[in-house]
Amino acid sequence: MSDTTLISYDPSTGEELWRGQHGDVDAAVSAARRAWPAWAAKPLANRIEMVRRFANEVRAEADGLAELIAREAGKPLWEAKTEVEAVINKVEISITAYAERTGKKKLDSALNGTAALRHKPHGVMAVLGPYNFPAHLPNGHIIPALIAGNVILFKPSEKTPAVGAALVRCFHKAKFPEGVVQLVVGGPNEGKALVAHPGIDGVLFTGSAQAGIAINRKLAANPGKIVALEMGGNNPIVVIDTPLLKDAAALIIQSAFTTAGQRCTAARRLIVLEHLFEPLMKELIPLVRKVIVGDPLGDPQPFMGPVIDNDTADRLGESFLALVTAGGKPLAHLRRNDPDKPFLTPGIIDTTDIEDRPDIELFGPILQVIRVPDFDAAIAEANNTRFGLSASLIGGSPDDYARFWANIRAGIINWNRPTNGASSAAPFGGIGLSGNHRPAAFYAADYCAYPVASTELGQPRASIEIGLEE
């Protein structure tokens, strides 16, 4: 195999799924810079028509794209289908968001002309996508950026290039002009080259905090590039008094183990009042043991497929063991029944007695339980993280939720709902190590165009009334 060839594997079988050549970043940037002026000059209505054509192409390819996502990302087919729907729905949501967030405004005055607010695109945007939502999350950057008049260089995760290639094919089938949407296949080297390239005007990134911080550091001396970072979380789900512990258990499983725990909004820490611990575990542990982990295309459909690859499964197993060694008490063991495949059963561990719990994002099906004496301690523990993406409160009264909402540091705060499953029609982002205050989803329009204020008069008209010699 050439070192310029990238190969993707089906994590559930280990079989080769796709292979392609690493992209030429310089050539791609040059083509994008040539394409940008004409694309930016197109009327907004034309750009909107084009992204709607793209949605129709995805709709026509929906079944095949969902199966490809299931095979390459390892998520169950039912979930892959919801991802494809999100890709399609993103188009109309983004059109609405562009009008609301970056629309034109004019204020006319007969003597002073017109005061106008319009928005301009940045130019050539690099979109660096993740493997957990290999179509939906990069598409959440791409569509708003295209509507605003930017052109796109999309580098999918090196673990899910086949889905990235399929997404770009849909843009090409929709007859986007050459150079407006390009696929750049590659790994970390291609990503670094895109970030550092002088011909790139913006970097739109979804991934780990480590990679996001590296991008931020690289571009710290270059404020001219727009940078939007979405970097995950160490998210708390807090359970206080409620008679509906069976429902609470279901919400916890949805939060912690959907997508095999490979969501940036997944619950990583279950914080529970001490007196509720035993009754909650009596509901949660039997339910988690019923979770089906299996072939993403299997019948019946599993709740969870594999994690993305064997290396990831190895690291998650080592992390669970490290928590046990540090004093954690396993409540549901993280098991790997086949050492050659990355299928993991959900793991739950009581880490209350670990003095220095690591504040890291364990990106997989591991849930830490922390017992606390009261609601104040629960809020303090929920905030005991450098991250701040998502948080949920289960139980309590409206006053409890108001207190929770006011005191929790996060960009997404829910009540009696899972920590994940955020709406594309709302802003999506966090604080701390979770992002750089550029929320995506409905607010993506904000970082895809910049505001331009103008005062305008049809003819020059001015006089100087003071300070001139007679």
**What is the rounded (10 degree) CA torsion for 263, 265, 271, 272?**
-90
Q: Does the annotation count 230 as an active-site position? A: yes
Question: The sheet that has 449-456: what strands, in order across it?
Answer: 105-109, 113-121, 449-456
The catalytic residue among 72, 190, 230, 381 is 230
Nearest-angstrom CA–CA distance, 78 and 16? 23
Q: 283: phi > 0 → left, psi -120 to 50 → alpha, else beta; which?
A: alpha
The catalytic residue among 57, 170, 264, 361 is 264
Instruction: List the one residue out of 415, 383, 377 whose CA is nearest residue 399.
Output: 415
In order of 355, 356, 357, 418, the CA distances from 351 in angstroms are: 9, 10, 7, 21
Q: Does the annotation count 264 as an active-site position? A: yes
Tokens of residue 368, six digits: 């830490």
At 419, the amino acid letter reads T
Q: 408: phi > 0 → left, psi -120 to 50 → alpha, else beta; which?
A: beta
Active site residues: 230, 264
